[in-house]
Chains A and B, each alone.
Chain A
Amino acid sequence: MSNILEITLGIMTAMGGFVDVSELVFTAQAGAKFLYALIWVIVLGTIIIMVFGEMSGRVAAIAKQPVFNLMRQRLGLKFGILVLIAATIVNLITCAAEIGGIAIVLQLGVGIPYRLAACLATIGLILVVWLLPFKAIERIFGLLGLFMISFMVSAAALHPPWNEVVSGLVPQIPAHVSGAELLTFGYFIVAIISAVVFPYETYFYSSGAVEEHWSKKDLAINRVTTIVGFALGSLLAISILINAAVLFAPRHIDPQMVGTPALQVAVPFGTTGLILALLGMFFAIAGAAIETCLCCAYGVSQFFGWQWGRYQPPSAAPRFTLFWLATFVIANLIVLTGIDPLNLVEYAVVSSIIVIPFSYLPLLLIANDRKYMGSQVNGQYANILGIGSYAIVVIAAIAAVPLYLLSSGGQQ
């Protein structure tokens, strides 16, 4: 019975924690610009994160190795340190984007000024991470992020043309898209893949598995959580796209603000809907802020072999603790400079897709190493999916910067 409860909670946590500020921004914009034509990209990104999420959990459970240990071991010190620096910067920018997102939600919900909201949010997040153990943090924010289900309910209530929604599952380039708009379409493909496959998700997931002392008996939970939890989470992202296609596209609204998606629930359900949407966004983005911040500390601590983790009091892993504290403070300072959170989201998305191939390569290598993985080594299907997914993120990584520049960040 406790296993069923554990699996259910795992699924719900994965679902509630799936959406973050970048998915809110890019899926809403994708729906407003290209209607349902990019739904397949969310599905593709979800398959990739399922494949690498499952692999990272399995490696953590069997080889007891989180991602940055592997990176150091498999890429070597010289190259590994470059990837560590890049990944830390990406996580820091993402953390700043998430804090900016929380500040906007607080501004919309409670009416406090943006910068004050960012400072209060940062203080709140620091207190949460300081006082709560890993499992509680993961569960509280994952489960409260389920307020995001209001976006799914809204999608059903708005009665979208379901035949068009289903046709969006087929990879396509809409016939009317050409010229500069084609570049924007390409940029959105890359950006959505990046937003769904954000590297911090794998870092956090595998570190969490090590923190919770996963072993072979947890492999079933790992598989169900990554497949069912992420699949349900992606339905939330698809719902945001559908809502934007129904509500924003016909009115030529380009959702350029982080808070705009909240209107998707406010239109059909009024004030109650708005409150539910803001609560969902708040907890989903706050959860992501904590994850990205901890990932900065996980990365550096694992790479240099320091004591790390939130399964123990802050003083038992002091350098890890000081590193995540510093990350929160620097991320908040970035927000306080007044830089538009939307720009931060764009930088985070473009830079993270470049880091992803270097993060996933060591994972793919060790998952194929029988010496470490024993009978849990990658099978034929896991390898086909793994190599296929890896090829897609490599192509996306190569295309990211040119598409960002040529499409002026998707504004063409």
Chain B
Amino acid sequence: MKPEGPLKLVGEVRDLQIIDSDGVHCGIADDVECRGAPGKELVLNALLVGPGAYQHRLPKWAYALITFLFGDRLVKVPWSEVSHVTGHITLKNPGASYGLVQTERRFEAIVKKVPFA
């Protein structure tokens, strides 16, 4: 599926795994952002990635639990950066260029200190 083709936003984009151009898992399309105005075309603007996007999708207690455990980061990936959509969303560039793998890199530095990591 091409990003400019017909897509069901809830069924075929939201909650899909995002993979960057290097094949690295960069999170989930936790929500989508659209832009438009009354009488104008509604355009898919960006993918919202990170626990910060759960605010309007989860009950308060669950949102509090998730953000307590995993933080409330929210990264916007422009829809124009999506290469194609299949069982997952593939990006045109490495995830780091969108700020997507920062947490992973932080933990990587910790794990790398252990021998044979």
Give 23 CB contacts A-B under 8 Å: A64-B88, A73-B16, A76-B15, A77-B30, A78-B58, A78-B59, A301-B25, A304-B28, A305-B17, A305-B25, A305-B26, A305-B28, A306-B27, A307-B101, A313-B117, A314-B114, A316-B108, A318-B104, A318-B107, A318-B108, A318-B110, A319-B107, A321-B111
Confirm or deny: B2 has a beta carbon within 8 angstroms of a beta carbon on chain A.
Answer: no
CB within 8 Å of B: which of A273-328? 301-308, 313-316, 318-319, 321-322
- Which of these, B24, B54, B66, contacts A307 with CB under 8 Å? B24
A138 to B116, CA, bound (A): 20
Q: In the bound complex, do residue B110 and residue A305 qualify as a contact, i.e. CB atoms below 8 Å apart?
A: no
Binding site for B on A (CB under 8 A): 63-65, 69, 72-73, 76-78, 80-81, 130-131, 301-308, 313-316, 318-319, 321-322, 372
List A contacts of B108 (CB < 8 A). Answer: 315-316, 318
List B contacts of A131 (CB < 8 A). Answer: 116
CB within 8 Å of A: which of B1-36? 15-18, 24-28, 30
Q: In the bound complex, do residue A65 and residue B104 qualify as a contact, i.e. CB atoms below 8 Å apart?
A: no
A76 to B104, CA, bound (A): 24
Q: In the bound complex, do residue B111 and residue A77 qualify as a contact, i.e. CB atoms below 8 Å apart?
A: no
A136 to B24, CA, bound (A): 23
Q: In the bound complex, do residue A315 and residue B112 qualify as a contact, i.e. CB atoms below 8 Å apart?
A: yes
A304 to B69, CA, bound (A): 12
Interface centre among A69, A80, A307, A316 (most CB of B within 10 A): A307
Binding site for A on B (CB under 8 A): 15-18, 24-28, 30, 49, 54, 57-59, 62, 66, 70, 86-88, 101, 103-104, 107-108, 110-112, 114, 116-117
Q: In the bound complex, do residue B30 and residue A318 qualify as a contact, i.e. CB atoms below 8 Å apart?
A: no
CB nearest neighbor in A for B110:
A318
Q: In the bound complex, do residue B111 and residue A307 qualify as a contact, i.e. CB atoms below 8 Å apart?
A: no
Contact A78:B104 (CB < 8 A) given known A73-B15, A305-B18: no
- Which of these, B17, B49, B103, B116, contacts A319 with CB under 8 Å? B103
Interface centre among B18, B24, B25 (most CB of A within 10 A): B25
List B contacts of A80 (CB < 8 A). Answer: 15
List B contacts of A322 (CB < 8 A). Answer: 107, 110-111
B40 CB, nearest partner CB in chain A, Å = 29
Q: In the bound complex, do residue A63 and residue B87 qualify as a contact, i.e. CB atoms below 8 Å apart?
A: yes
A304 CB, nearest partner CB in chain B, Å = 6
List A contacts of B49 (CB < 8 A). Answer: 305
List A contacts of B70 (CB < 8 A). Answer: 304
List B contacts of A78 (CB < 8 A). Answer: 57-59, 62
B86 CB, nearest partner CB in chain A, Å = 8
List A contacts of B57 (CB < 8 A). Answer: 77-78
List B contacts of A306 (CB < 8 A). Answer: 25, 27, 104
CB nearest neighbor in B for A66:
B17
- Which of these, A73, A313, A319, contacts B104 with CB under 8 Å? A319
Contact A372:B24 (CB < 8 A) given known A131-B116, A307-B104, A314-B114: no
Contact A77:B116 (CB < 8 A) given known A306-B27, A319-B107: no
Q: In the bound complex, do residue B66 and residue A81 qualify as a contact, i.e. CB atoms below 8 Å apart?
A: yes
CB nearest neighbor in B for A76:
B15
Interface centre among A73, A130, A131, A303 (most CB of B within 10 A): A73
- Which of these, A72, A81, A313, A315, contacts B62 with CB under 8 Å? A81
A82 CB, nearest partner CB in chain B, Å = 8
CB nearest neighbor in A for B107:
A318
B23 CB, nearest partner CB in chain A, Å = 10
CB nearest neighbor in A for B103:
A319
List B contacts of A76 (CB < 8 A). Answer: 15
Taking A305-B27, A306-B25, A316-B108 as known contacts, 15 extra A-B pairs with beta carbons closer than 8 A to each other, sorted by chain A number, are A69-B17, A76-B15, A77-B30, A77-B54, A78-B58, A131-B116, A301-B25, A304-B27, A306-B104, A307-B24, A307-B101, A313-B117, A318-B107, A319-B103, A322-B111
